[in-house]
Structure 1
Amino acid sequence: MDYFDDQFEVGAMIRRWRTHRGMSQMDLALDADLSARHVSFVETGRSTPSREALFALTDALDVPLRERNVVFEAAGFARPYSEATLSESELAHHRQLVASILQRHDPFFAVAIDRHWNVRMANRPGEEFLNQFFGPGGIEEPSEPNLARLLFHPAGLRSCIVNWPEASAHFYDRLHRESVHNPLDEDLALLLDEIASYGDFAKRPPTPSRNPALVLQLSMDGMELRLIGSVLAFDSAQAPALEELRIETFFPADERTARQLEARPLAD
């Protein structure tokens, strides 16, 4: 059976994820603590996997939670992971935690993004910073600002990044790795294609820097800023919205940058 012919059968889904992960049936069987024969039977539709077997298989394949729900539903089971959004009451406490983290990072830039790099939440400096680039004369106003577009769009931040080759290579590589991790996410693939269409940036990492971490060097609003980025995520998330959430925080890389940011906001 060609698994692309009937991609919504659970066996075809398992086989497709296994192929994307570059694993053999034996590899998957060993990681999932199942027999290779059972894996083969599941993939060909000769055997229907139990709920426990599906948990083992999707764990071994590192399938994202949102896609795991689709696999379980295809096998006739209820979706095991809540798909509540961050704005719903079920995740209200987690939203408050994110808001608290963002607020405490003031006066430095911080945003919370989803798996497509859409900005879901931002602190005050983050909102002021984004407003400089999204709107009239800048990036076409979207329903939600997108951090990838902010970085790569010709009307975005790229003209202000002094070390553009190094920075663009880093962020493009990160986007590419995320797309490889979830090859079935068509929206992420489209975003990556859009970013690639802008051109004029490094798609391969340059010669390794002596800096232990990438220092983003900005020249804007009469300030010369040097920032180090950090990414926060929920550990062991059991809801897709939380698994996909990333809190992007930027810290001053030197005392001069810290003084400038503490003395004035990024936007007047």
Structure 2
Amino acid sequence: MSDVGTLIRHWRRARGLSQLALSAESVVSLRHLSFIETGRASPSRAMVLKLAEVLDVPLRERNSLLLAAGFAPVYRESALDVPEMAAIRAALDAILTHQEPYPALVMDREWNIRRTNAAAARFFGFLQAGHDTAAPGPPNVLRRMFHPDGVRRYVRNWPDVSEALVRRVRREAVGGLADERAQSILREVLAYPGVPASLKSLDATVPTLPVVPIEYARDGREFDYFSTVTTLGTAQDITLQELRIECFFPANEETRRLAYALAESAAS
């Protein structure tokens, strides 16, 4: 079986499609699709891109498919701070600023935190105030939530939140280098002290609650948030497609009041 055939079969199965279903959705004959997957036929560049589009393969992995088929990659990966990204940075900053006084952050596919608004810095600074230690490495959502020196100690419903996060990582990470790195970070955090061994065997396909709130508490103050995750539409750059914008919203009036109080305290 050819490398590209193996990858196409991997993504087809990851998307829960039979050969017949993929054949129908991509308008490719079942016989030709079978030959591609088994290496008896070599797909054209257009065919690789067509199948990748139908399978909703991330741009980074579309480049891998093209390379495996003997073609040059077509999608670039740009640094977020280059001049060409000025409009994107402005859009991200507008979203983050609009979320004030509630936390919001931008993370990549490996759960590294790329940007935050002032509310996020203020809130997590409040949680970590007085501690000389923190989660290791660059800012990362998973490390921050699972490490004993992160915010874990202030999350009242940490068992529910940790379980939801593990399921989410495993559900989203279905292939490719970025997903392998996310899975590697997940294995790292599951080995932290105090993390239940049962989290290692969670089934990502089991349905979860529609929304899992995060209940923080410190110094007599309780913040109950739920979050939404937004992506950039029609992104044609790997960096942009992999960005996730997570915005936190108050689940009750008390959290709303405390968020405004933190903002007013910082302003004064």
* Cα drift, residue 111 of structure 1: 0.7
Match status 1:151 vs 2:145 = yes
Task: Kindly provide the CA deviation profile for residues 117-151 of structure 1, in whole angstroms up to 9, marking residues without a partner as x.
Answer: 100001112224445659842223x2x30011111
1:257 positional shift: 1.2
Match of residue 175, structure 2, among 182, 189, 192? 182
Q: How does 1:72-221 map to 2 (within 5 A)?
A: 72-131=66-125, 133=128, 136-140=132-136, 142=137, 144-179=138-173, 181-182=174-175, 185-198=179-192, 199-200=195-196, 203=199, 213-221=211-219
Root-mean-square deviation (Å): 2.8
Give the whole-Å Cα distance in 2 for the aligned partners of 1:67 and 1:207.
27
1:167–1:214 contact (8 Å) kept in structure 2: yes
Per the alignment, residue 61 of structure 2 pairs with 67
Query: Which residue in the other structure is 1:25 paired with?
Result: 19
Aligned-residue identity in percent: 38
CA distance in 1, matches of 2:52, 2:265: 46
| CA–CA distance in structure 2, aligned partners of residues 79 and 72 of structure 1 | 6
* Unaligned residue ranges in structure 2 (runs of 5+): none
- Choose the corresponding residue for 1:55, options 42, 49, 53: 49
Q: What is the CA deviation profile of residues 16-74 of structure 1, one whole-angstrom value per residue up to 9, with x for unaligned ones?
A: 33344454433322222101221233233333222221122112322111110121233
1:262 alignment partner AA: Y
What's the TM-score once normalised by structure 2's chain length?
Answer: 0.84
- SS of the residue 1:264 aligns to: helix
SS in 2 for 1:82: coil
Unaligned runs of 5+ in 1: 4-8
Q: Is the 8 A contact 1:168 1:202 kept in 2?
A: no
Instruction: Please list the CA deviations of residues 185-225 of structure 1 after superposition, one character each: whole Å capped at 9, or x if unmatched.
Output: 3211101212322323874599976xx63222111243111
> Contact 1:110 / 1:250 at 8 angstroms: preserved in 2?
yes
Aligned residues: 257
Show CA shifts across 1:136-169 (max 9, x none). Answer: 42223x2x30011111111111211112222222
